[in-house]
Amino acid sequence: MHPVPIQKRVAVAIYKLASNVEFHDVANLFGIGTSTACDIFWEVCEALCKMRKDFVKRPKTIAEMEAITTGFERKSGFPMCGGALDGTHIPIIAPASYPTDFYNRKGWYSVILQGLVAHNYCFLDFDVGWPGKCHDSYVFECSRLCRKMEEGTFFPPIRKNINGVEVPIMIVADSAYSLASNIMKPFPEGTARGPRAAFNACLSRARIHVEHAFGRLKVLHNFCEMQNVAYQELNEDVMDQPEAVPEQNDVPAFSPAEQIREALVAYINS
């Protein structure tokens, strides 16, 4: 009996992941035995999990960190940006247990994928599996990434003096998230005029990297990016839109986070 080629093994796993059909249906489609299809699926999944450390990793050295911040500033004009953060919904079949928890605001069942993306569209971190009903900010607050950001252990400890304010490495996010010293979000639309509007536009140019990465998302995503696999850009109309949430004054006036944001406003408009 001839072994199943690697290309076919990957195709079996991808088809199963994408369709969630029974293994005997997958086996019939690919002309292999049901037990073989099951074994192949789990072998490929295990291999993909092992590859995570090679293809999804945070910057650990100052040189790696500066390559990302420089990349973001060159492409968007936003300084000291270490990554763009957002969540996206992955469609699923309604689970038997607690299905309403997975029914999202868009009107279908999903789990949430939270991703942190660098300037080159590669993922630095991800967290997947939260019920679709959860809010993006809740997912972040419960994530390992949030804890490491609060502890100051996710990025190398680099700071830059911008207009008299010590600015750390930050991640950029949309208005669904809470403002913090290392998490920058836009000003509310009603107050974003003049220099603040320019700040919002600059932040958006940096943040859009995560939207584009979600649009390009596929199995072996970072591998494809590193191998320069050709890709046809998606229409931005199909991108996830930020969750609609009421704007809140979630940070006291003159807090460290507000001081950093105002310093960035001045820097971007200088």
Domain boundary among 38, 53, 68: 53
* Same-domain pairing of 125 and 205: yes
pLDDT value for 14: 87
* Same-domain pairing of 37 and 75: no
φ, ψ dihedrals at 128, nearest 5°: -130, 150
Domain count, the chain: 2
Show the domain range for 111.
Answer: 56-268
pLDDT value for 238: 38
Q: Is 0.95 surpassed by the pTM of this model?
A: no
* Same-domain pairing of 243 and 121: yes
* Same-domain pairing of 18 and 49: yes
pLDDT value for 229: 62
* Same-domain pairing of 164 and 92: yes
Q: Are 5 and 32 in contact (CB under 8 A)?
A: no
Residues facing residue 160 across a β-bridge = 167
pLDDT value for 234: 43
* Same-domain pairing of 42 and 119: no
Burial call 108-127: b when 16+ CB within 10 Å, e when fewer: ebbbbbbbbbbbebbbbbeb
pLDDT 10s per residue in the chain (270 long)?
A: 678 999 999 999 988 887 778 999 999 999 999 999 999 999 999 998 888 778 788 999 999 999 999 999 999 999 999 999 999 998 888 888 899 999 999 999 999 999 999 999 999 999 999 999 999 999 999 999 999 999 999 999 999 999 999 999 999 999 999 999 999 999 988 777 899 999 999 999 999 999 999 887 756 555 666 666 665 554 444 344 555 544 444 555 578 999 999 999 999 998
* Same-domain pairing of 123 and 242: yes
Q: Are 75 and 119 in contact (CB under 8 A)?
A: yes
Q: For residue 260, is it within any domain?
A: yes
Q: For residue 233, is it within any domain?
A: yes
* Same-domain pairing of 112 and 237: yes
Q: For residue 123, is it within any domain?
A: yes
Pairing assessment for the beta strands 159-162 and 183-184 based on DSSP bridges = unpaired
Print the SS3 string covering the chain.
CCCCCHHHHHHHHHHHHHHCCCHHHHHHHHCCCHHHHHHHHHHHHHHHHHHHHHHCCCCCCHHHHHHHHHHHHHHHCCCCEEEEEEEEEEECCCCCCCHHHHECCCCCEEEEEEEEECCCCCEEEEEEEEECCCCHHHHHHCCHHHHHHHHCCCCCCCEEEECCEEEECEEECCCCCCCECCEECCCCHHHCCCHHHHHHHHHHHHHHHHHHHHHCCCCCHHHHHHCCCCCCCCCHHHCCCCCCCCCCCCCCCCCHHHHHHHHHHHHHCC
pLDDT value for 3: 87
Q: Are 112 and 132 in contact (CB under 8 A)?
A: yes
What does the alpha-carbon distance between residue 128 and residue 214 come to, in Å, rounded to a whole number?
A: 13
What does the alpha-carbon distance between residue 212 and residue 162 come to, in Å, rounded to a whole number?
A: 29
- Within 8 A by CB and 6+ apart from 51, the residues are 223
